[in-house]
Amino acid sequence: MLRRGFFVGNVPTQAHTKEERDMKTYRLTMHDGASIESVEITADSVENALSQIEGECQLWVDKGDWGPTGGSVRVSWVLYDEEGDEVDDGLCEVVIEPLHNVLINRACCGHEYCGDDPDDHDWTSQGEGGYTENPGVWSTGGTTIVVHAHCRRCGLMRREVRYGTQRNPGQADEIEYVMADDETIAAWRESGAMDD
């Protein structure tokens, strides 16, 4: 016997708060030219969903194995609503930071040095050449500059190429660490470029 006001069987779960009822599920599809990935974004508006895209692209790219030198990945994305209609599309540039500790360790293999972290070193551009007003810096055209520095204590050299705003798509700044040879360190000592 059934009584009015009672439910028989399973009752679907319903949202309890207005915020829960207002949430929508969007689908974000990301493509980097080689791989494709889709994720769900839960948001209360298109604007809120769009604000999460950069973070989702970063999370996806971070899962890749990019090697120690870092880089830049251009991600094309498309956002779809719950009905599968395209809401918006665009591009997101994700910068992959170099693994400085790996690069420094490789450069210093077999030599005594200050540590694997760049902050462990006492960097200077003194004695590196470049502009008189800005030692160790050269302009290579456009917004690109080359920056040379070395550690005053151990002689580790840091070579950077910074591309500025006039860069090609996917072009990331470059960094290289090299241990100076004994002759170079002796020349720095003689010129005062190794003094604290």
Reported as a pLDDT band with limits 50, 70 and 90, residue 194 is confident
Domain end call among 79, 96, 113? 96
Q: State the Cα–Cα distance between residues 188 and 113, nearest whole angstrom.
A: 16
Listed residue (19, 63, 65, 66) closest to 45, CA to CA: 19
Domain count of the chain?
2
Do 48 and 119 have their domain in common? no
Q: State the Cα–Cα distance between residues 143 and 2, nearest whole angstrom.
A: 79
Query: Is 40 inside a domain boundary?
Result: yes
- Supply the pTM of this predicted model: 0.74
Reported as a pLDDT band with limits 50, 70 and 90, residue 193 is confident
DSSP state of 130: B
Establish how many alpha carbons lie within 13 A of residue 2's alpha carbon, considering only the half-sphere containing its beta carbon.
6
Query: Is 144 inside a domain boundary?
Result: yes
Q: State the Cα–Cα distance between residues 191 and 5, nearest whole angstrom.
A: 93
> How are beta strands 24-31 and 86-96 bridged, if at all?
unpaired
Reported as a pLDDT band with limits 50, 70 and 90, residue 16 is low
Domain end call among 43, 62, 96? 96
Listed residue (34, 65, 38) closest to 53, CA to CA: 38
Quick one: pLDDT at residue 53? 97
Token pair, residue 185, equals 């360190």
Domain residue limits at 81: 18-96
Do 92 and 107 have their domain in common? no
Reported as a pLDDT band with limits 50, 70 and 90, residue 6 is very low
How many Cβ atoms are within 10 Å of 58's Cβ, its own excluded? 15
